[in-house]
Amino acid sequence: MPVTKAGYAQIFSSHEAGISRNVHIPESQKASWESIKNSHVGNYYETTLLRAVLRLATGDMKVTPQANIGEFRFSYTTSPDRKDIFINLVSIESNTISSSKAPGIYRSKWTGDKWLTPKDASPAKSMMLTHHWSDSSHVAAVPGKFDNKEDASSMMGVHIEKAYLDTHGALTGARQQGNHFSMFWTNNEFTSKQHVQTIVSLIQQAQKQDAEIKWLIHGEGCGTFVKALQFIQKNPIDHDLYKAQQGLEKQNLFFSNPRGRHTSEASLKQIAEAIGIKHVKVRLNKDDIFFNPDARNDALKEIGKAAGAIAFTGAGAHFAGEAGVESVQKLVELAASSPAGLGSALAIAGGVVVIAGKAASLCGMARNIKGAASSTFGAGNQNWAS
């Protein structure tokens, strides 16, 4: 028998398929909860909130006892036997977040000369999946690191155009006054579990609505997006693989200047294919040797070929005659610890230094050091990789 508590009503029952705990909510919020259950599709705040509650209902107690999801703030308590859960919402209204700096979905509109999200804009509740450009697809972006959403919005518009609009007609068709793309701005919080779950919700909402989307995933946002894809792979919406993937093939992924774990082209293609979503292409910034595995491996190969002839100084000079790709791995990994000297040298552990000037005539790596510094410590990675 479920535990009864004055002032609470039951919203989920352990007798329902897949539910292992009874979930109760304040009686005064019953109508609002019923509305959320019936109409959450298309509103990622409500979907994420409902997902968190269902995780509790199915036995996952890893959900934080107090959580913020958009403007929703909720906590929960359990009965002594942990078979009943009591949800307490501080706010039940899913109003648009008031802060213009808050993470969320923004609409970047064409203003006549650039793509723009106004500084005072607030997040939308959902993507307008019925808004298309020159074909039947909605367009969406997840940017990497930028100082603000306005810069991200303008630059992501350029990346989208380069990635998807390869003809003059398509470009002209997209650049229509008031036309927009959706941008999920993380406010540079790329490790946020909440943002990962939001992306999961956005992907699955579009899947349920059988919507076509052209995604442009950029920079550090690629690492966040990959975590969302991994979650979908591990938690399919149906045990039948065909049903679980149905509709996902209408979503296209283009990764631009990817950064983060599992963002090599092979890894990105593999995870996309594993869940049935369409992998279009990866545009690699070859100077981004510190944060992208493909760029790093290419650089290591190049350095390894020339390492025997490059002048070494310091305690590890004996590396000069035997350095290979494995030996110089730390050259790339640890150079980030010495940004001041990156323009003229790359540091290796143990005092070993490769002098860029000596390498200039031996390999292209030396002339790319400036680009690597810009991509790593400046804004070079934000640009479209030409």
Domains of the chain: 8-89 (no CATH), 104-283 (3.40.50), 293-382 (no CATH)
How far, in Å, CA of 258 to CA of 280, rounded? 14
pLDDT-above-70 percentage for the chain: 72
Band the pLDDT of 355: cuts 50, 70, 90: very low
Residue 18: predicted pLDDT: 81
**291 pLDDT band (50/70/90 cuts)?**
confident
Q: Which two structure tokens, joined as six digits, stand for 36?
A: 């959320």
Give the pLDDT of residue 219: 95
Confidence of residue 340 (pLDDT cuts 50, 70, 90): very low
The C-alpha R_g of the chain, in whole angstroms, comes to 25
Of 13-17, 100-104, 249-253, the range with the lowest mean pLDDT is: 100-104
- DSSP structural state of residue 105: E
| Element of type H or E holding 270 | helix 265-275
Residue 212 has pLDDT above 50, yes or no: yes
pLDDT level of residue 216 (50, 70, 90 thresholds) = very high
Which of 148, 32, 164 is CA-nearest to residue 89?
Answer: 32
Decide: helix, strand or coil at residue 180. Answer: strand
pLDDT of residue 260: 87
pLDDT higher for 291 or 145? Answer: 145
84-93, 241-250, 307-316: which is most confident = 241-250
Q: Report residue 204 as tokens.
A: 């699955």
Res 337 pLDDT > 70: no
Residue range 33-87, pLDDT digits in tens: 888 887 776 566 777 778 888 888 888 767 667 766 655 677 888 888 888 989 8
pLDDT at 215 over 90: yes
CA of 207: how far to CAs of 41, 84, 282, in Å?
A: 10, 32, 23
Which regions of 264-355 does DSSP assign to beta strands (E)? 278-283, 312-313, 345-347, 353-355
What is the model's pLDDT at position 277? Answer: 95
Q: Is the pTM here over 0.75, yes or no?
A: no
Q: Would you state the pLDDT for residue 238?
A: 72
Give the pLDDT confidence score for residue 114 in this predicted structure: 93
* pLDDT the model gives residue 101: 64
For residue 97, the model assigns a pLDDT of 40
**How would residue 2 be classed by pLDDT, with cut points 50, 70 and 90?**
low
Amino acid 95: pLDDT: 46
Residues 117-130 have a mean pLDDT of 89
146-183 pLDDT tens trace: 999 999 999 999 999 999 997 777 888 889 888 999 99
C-alpha to C-alpha distance for 191 and 183, rounded to whole angstroms: 18
Return the closest-CA partner of residue 141 out of 277, 254, 223: 254
Handedness of CA 149, 219, 175, 253 (dihedral sign): negative
What does the mean pLDDT of the chain come to? 77
∠ CA 369-372-374 to the nearest 5 degrees? 115
* Contact (CB, 8 A) for 74 and 89: yes
**Higher per-residue pLDDT: 282 or 296:** 282
Task: Please report the pLDDT score of residue 311 as a whole number.
Answer: 45
> What's the pLDDT score for residue 180?
96
3-state secondary structure of 264: coil
